């Protein structure tokens, strides 16, 4: 389930920008050329699809700059590989409506970074994600990729259909303890509940029951990782970051009498 996370720093070349002289490009070294080539692979046959018109224009500019530098074939291959990896790590987001409100999936081509919601609108989701992560590409049309498949499954789940969430998650973004807790929570079956003590034991931290609750409170992938299925040992509902009523809603959605 692990994936690596990263996103570009926004310093892409834009169409219409002044063309720097070839000598200045060479002075930047390999790292500078790799940055300036940041979109070139998006036009390559084996690269990911271009998300929008700005990226397409930037890719054309980057290609012309590479032509000006005229690197060796070996260097050109290495640059294209580096650019494809940078493109793979670019942060994207796709929003979808549910009975509770709007949700959004933030993701790279490698893994899901976060599930956000519910909010009042898709725009509110995107604004909050930008405030947290910086620049991102909004997918107006759902793609057949990690984020698109996750969004479709989450929409189906909120409509009452049982789905299996098996898309990769960017677990490197949480601490090892939180990762242990979330992976244990992910094993709780649909429509069932487990106490916090069970999660602590299954995660390999049997004495950390209170810390388990704190880790679940910051779960970035709810309800994919179903922290709503974790309840108090005495039969009480327990806590939930989105509030007790939403926890009941999710449990009832799955047929559990909350």
If asked whether residues 55 and 76 sit together in one domain, one would say yes
Percent pLDDT > 90 in the chain is 60
Q: Is residue 224 part of a domain?
A: yes
Tell which of 33, 60, 88 closes a domain: 88
Q: Is residue 167 part of a domain?
A: no
If asked whether residues 80 and 98 sit together in one domain, one would say no
Tell which of 39, 67, 88 closes a domain: 88
Q: Is residue 64 part of a domain?
A: yes
Which domain covers residue 239, as residue numbers?
Answer: 174-253
The residues carrying an active-site annotation are 227
If asked whether residues 142 and 211 sit together in one domain, one would say no
Q: Is residue 194 part of a domain?
A: yes
What local confidence, expressed as pLDDT, does residue 181 receive? 98
Q: Is the pLDDT at 171 greater than 50, yes or no?
A: yes
If asked whether residues 247 and 181 sit together in one domain, one would say yes
First-to-last CA distance in the chain?
A: 30
If asked whether residues 82 and 104 sit together in one domain, one would say no
pLDDT digits (tens, 9 = 90+) for 80-101: 555 555 545 689 999 999 999 9
DSSP state of 112: E
Tell which of 88, 107, 135 closes a domain: 88
Beta strand extents in the chain (DSSP E only): 92-98, 101-107, 112-119, 137-138, 194-195, 230-231
Q: Nearest Cα to 81, choosing from 26, 34, 49, 30?
A: 34
Q: Is residue 220 part of a domain?
A: yes
Q: Is residue 10 part of a domain?
A: no
pLDDT top residue among 3 and 155: 155
Residues ≥6 apart with Cβ < 8 Å to 228: 222, 240, 246, 247, 250, 251
Number of domains observed in the structure of the chain: 3
What local confidence, expressed as pLDDT, does residue 90 receive? 87
Q: What is the CATH number of the domain that holds 227?
A: 1.10.10.10
Q: Is the pLDDT at 153 greater than 70, yes or no?
A: yes
Average pLDDT for 154-175: 96
What local confidence, expressed as pLDDT, does residue 60 receive? 59
If asked whether residues 249 and 189 sit together in one domain, one would say yes
If asked whether residues 66 and 99 sit together in one domain, one would say no
Q: Is residue 105 part of a domain?
A: yes
pTM of the model: 0.68
User: For all residues of the chain together, what is the average pLDDT?
Assistant: 78
What local confidence, expressed as pLDDT, does residue 25 receive? 31
Q: Residue 16: pLDDT band by 50, 70, 90 thresholds?
A: very low
If asked whether residues 188 and 241 sit together in one domain, one would say yes
How far is 165 from 180, CA to CA, in rounded Å? 18
pLDDT digits (tens, 9 = 90+) for 29-70: 444 444 444 434 333 333 333 344 445 555 555 566 566 666
pLDDT digits (tens, 9 = 90+) for 182-208: 999 999 999 999 999 999 999 999 999
If asked whether residues 75 and 110 sit together in one domain, one would say no
Q: Is residue 3 part of a domain?
A: no
User: CB of 105 within 8 A of CB of 126?
Assistant: no
Average pLDDT for 154-178: 96
Work out the burial of residue 205: count CB atoms within 10 Å of its CB; fewer than 13 is exposed, 13-18 middle, 19 or more buried. Answer: middle
């Amino acid at each position: 389930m692990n994936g690596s996370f990263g996103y570009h720093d926004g310093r892409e070349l834009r169409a219409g920008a002044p063309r720097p002289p070839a000598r200045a490009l060479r002075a930047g070294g390999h790292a500078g050329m790799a940055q300036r080539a940041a979109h070139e692979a998006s036009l390559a046959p084996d690269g990911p699809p271009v998300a929008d018109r700005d990226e397409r224009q930037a890719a054309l500019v980057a290609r012309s700059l590479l032509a000006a530098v005229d690197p060796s074939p070996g260097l050109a291959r290495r640059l294209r590989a580096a650019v494809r990896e940078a493109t793979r790590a670019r942060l994207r987001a796709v929003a979808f409506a549910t009975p509770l409100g709007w949700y959004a999936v933030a993701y790279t081509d490698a893994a899901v970074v976060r599930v956000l919601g519910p909010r009042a609108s898709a725009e509110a989701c995107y604004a909050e994600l930008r405030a947290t992560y910086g620049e991102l590409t909004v997918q107006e049309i759902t793609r057949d990729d990690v984020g698109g498949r996750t969004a479709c499954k989450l929409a189906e789940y909120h409509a009452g259909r049982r789905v299996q969430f098996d898309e990769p998650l960017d677990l490197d973004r949480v601490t090892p303890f939180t990762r242990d807790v979330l992976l244990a929570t992910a094993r709780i079956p649909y429509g069932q509940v487990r106490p916090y003590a069970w999660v602590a034991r299954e995660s390999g931290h049997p004495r950390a029951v209170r810390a388990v609750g704190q880790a679940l409170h910051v779960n970035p992938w709810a309800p994919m990782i179903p922290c709503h299925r974790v309840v108090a040992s005495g039969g009480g509902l327990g806590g939930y970051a989105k509030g007790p009523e939403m926890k009941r809603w999710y449990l009832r959605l799955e047929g559990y009498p909350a």
